Amino acid sequence: MKQKEAVPVTVLTGYLGAGKTTLLNYLLTQKHGYKCAIIINEFGAVSIDNQLVVGADEEILELNNGCLCCRVRGDLIRSLNDLLIKKRKRFDYVIIETTGLADPSPVAHTFMASELAEQMRLDGIVTVVDARHLEKELNDGPEPRAQIAFADVILLNKTDLVTPEELAKVEGRIKSMNPLAKIHRTVKSEIEVGKILNLKARELSAPMPELKQEHHHHDHECGEDCDHDHKHDHDHKCDEHCDHDHDHNHEGHVHHHHDELVKSFYIEEERPLDLKKLEKWLGELLNSLGADIYRSKGVLSIKGMPKRVVFQGVQMMLDSAPDRFWNPGEKKKSQLVFIGRELDEKKIREGFEQCVAE
């Protein structure tokens, strides 16, 4: 469906002050060879961000009348269409910096579900996290969780402001919310362009990250005091549950338009799966829970198929295809990760269990 030369789009997100503009500037001063169009979405009518972005060569466009996640989406589509049609030759990469409050999911949807889907492809979502302030920001509202849950790449920035112990803890916390994202520790958002742009993070061919069984969190494994004991080791089993408690503590917070309980879990299965049953189950699951499943991804071992099957889901959209033959000696197994809001892990596991081939 997509044209070969679909323009890659990277969405930069991250909480207020995390270092998004710093990252943008850093990227633009490096040699990357792309002619970039930059779209900056500031919350509020007056923006100074465009003045803070270096690089006079770039096409910079501002969308100021609201947050991209709600009102401005139509503007985004129109602006991108304009850029593509009128100025097609002038750029071959689009970077969108979203306001620190945006939930990146509607932006991501813009590239999958609008008329832009054929001309542009979402290359990846990059989330900048302030290592010093994340813990507090998680108390402030649901956005930091959504931004982390959606990320393909996370810049754990401002590492100069925390101790190694604090850094390990915050990294553990991020991993518990999104075990799929690649995390890079940075100071002043300094990172090689190749780790941010043209990642093809959402293609089926994107490598599966290393997944570990630790990401499988049972309900109620840890004690109630877990939330208060932030000194525990970052790979402590109940990171996830801490989140959960933590959210409950903030139920009814004014910023919560929907009480967000982002969590992730991991399923591993060595018995081969029945393709028909699996397709039916996944289809139904995404249909019924699509809006709550932010990300799903997996490698599947299907009975009777000599190749691995890979799938990638972003909310209700699901893509799957065989990729490569299992290597000789490689253990055939299925690995699936789900990231979402208030997911009923038990029910999903039970549904999955029914897909094991007889």
Ligand X SMILES: Nc1nc2c(ncn2[C@@H]2O[C@H](COP(=O)(O)OP(=O)(O)OP(=O)(O)O)[C@@H](O)[C@H]2O)c(=O)[nH]1
Residues that bind ligand X (CB under 6 A): 14, 16-22, 49, 100, 128, 157-158, 160-161, 187-189
Residue 145 CB, nearest approach to ligand X (Å): 17
The amino acid occupying position 328 is P
DSSP annotation string for 175-232: HHH-SSSEEEE-STT---GGGTSS--TTSTTSPPPP--GGG---TT-S-GGGGG-TTS
Q: Are strands 120-130 and 7-14 parallel, antiparallel or unpaired?
A: parallel
| E strand residue ranges, 2-103 | 7-14, 36-41, 59-63, 93-97
Q: Which CB, 99 or 264, lies closer to ligand X?
A: 99
| E strand residue ranges, 58-150 | 59-63, 93-97, 120-130
| Alpha carbons 74 and 1: distance in angstroms, whole number | 22
Residue 22 CB, nearest approach to ligand X (Å): 3
- Cβ-in-10-Å burial (0-12, 13-18, 19+) of 257 comes to exposed
Q: Which CB, 94 or 318, lies closer to ligand X?
A: 94
Residue 258 CB, nearest approach to ligand X (Å): 22
Q: Which CB, 23 or 285, lies closer to ligand X?
A: 23
Residue 162 CB, nearest approach to ligand X (Å): 10
Residue 12 CB, nearest approach to ligand X (Å): 8
| Alpha carbons 260 and 17: distance in angstroms, whole number | 22
Q: Which CB, 126 or 197, lies closer to ligand X?
A: 126
Q: Which CB, 189 or 301, lies closer to ligand X?
A: 189
Reported as type and span, the H/E element at residue 354 is none
Q: Which CB, 44 or 74, lies closer to ligand X?
A: 44
- Return all residues near 309 (Cβ < 8 A) that are at least 6 apart: 275, 299, 300, 301, 302, 320, 321, 322, 323
| Alpha carbons 25 and 19: distance in angstroms, whole number | 10
> Cα-flanking dihedrals φ and ψ of residue 41, to 5°?
-115, 105
Residue 81 CB, nearest approach to ligand X (Å): 26
Q: 2-39 burial by CB neighbour count: b if 16+ within 10 A, else e?
A: eeeebbbbbbbbbbeebbbbbbbbbbbeeebebebbbb
- Return all residues near 143 (Cβ < 8 A) that are at least 6 apart: 15, 100, 101, 102, 103
Residue 156 CB, nearest approach to ligand X (Å): 10
The amino acid occupying position 160 is D
Q: Which CB, 36 or 222, lies closer to ligand X?
A: 36
Residue 100 CB, nearest approach to ligand X (Å): 3
Q: Which CB, 192 or 284, lies closer to ligand X?
A: 192
Residue 356 CB, nearest approach to ligand X (Å): 45
Q: Which CB, 27 or 37, lies closer to ligand X?
A: 27
Residue 139 CB, nearest approach to ligand X (Å): 18
| Alpha carbons 13 and 39: distance in angstroms, whole number | 12
Q: Which CB, 51 or 327, lies closer to ligand X?
A: 51
